A and B are shown apart, each in its own frame.
Chain A
């Protein structure tokens, strides 16, 4: 079973627009991570946010975490065609070292 559920499942936007995707999870976490995957290749780590953090930025990425609602969001600002990919949230549950529990992912298509 998957810990996280992502919303929306698919997102189609134009270059320059912002893309927002959400992730909800079920149990207490140590941290939550976001990954990107291009066309069935390996996953690339984007950002990690710990349970005691509320917001984190990295370049054009902004991640928020609300542990009371067990949810997180990823915002990509000023999207580019190269941002076309699947985005996954993954949680590290407290006392479950090494195990990333992934959501189903959001497929993002950015058209020029």
Chain B
């Protein structure tokens, strides 16, 4: 069974640009959630999608958005990038919202 796949693995962007990250969950999993990890703030929840609907959202500005497609694949978008958006972005997939989460290897975003 293939694991959670995140693309790309590394990204370098300039302040003010926008970026789209992709996540393919484990086959059969309908819940996909996104997390931001930084040395200062640790692991912070961004949002969770289940069957194409956003069920939960963390305390991030509106520049952070996401969506989920009918095949459960998910994308997150960050517009007007700031230096502080530099982080490891992790995607997790689950069977349901309260079971174990399977994480991808993450996308390392650097904003310069």
Contact = CB atoms under 8 A, between A and B. Distances in A.
Interface stretch (A37-45, A61-69, A72-80): A37-45
B92 A96 contact: no
- Interface SS majority for chain B: strand
A98 B94 contact: yes
A92 B48 CA distance: 13
Please classify how large the interface on chain A is, using the bins under 10, 10 to 19, 20 to 34, 35 or more: 20 to 34
Contact of B55 (A2, A40, A44, A98): A98
A33 B43 CA distance: 14
Given A42-B90, A104-B42, A98 B100 contact: no
Given A97-B55, A99-B33, A48 B99 contact: yes
Give chain A's interface secondary structure class.
strand
A10 B47 CA distance: 29
Interface stretch (B13-21, B76-84, B102-110): B102-110
A101 interface: yes
B105 A41 contact: yes
A92 B97 contact: yes
Of residues B31, B45, B56, B58, which shows the largest number of chain A Cβ atoms within 10 Å of its Cβ?
Answer: B45
Contacts of B88: 40
Interface of B: 4, 31, 33, 35, 37, 42-45, 48, 50, 55-56, 58, 88, 90, 92, 94, 96-106, 108
Nearest first, the 10 closest Cβ-Cβ pairs linking A and B are: A97-B97, A98-B48, A102-B43, A98-B97, A42-B103, A43-B103, A45-B100, A42-B105, A99-B56, A99-B45
Interface of A: 2, 30-31, 33, 35, 40-45, 48, 88, 90, 92, 96-105
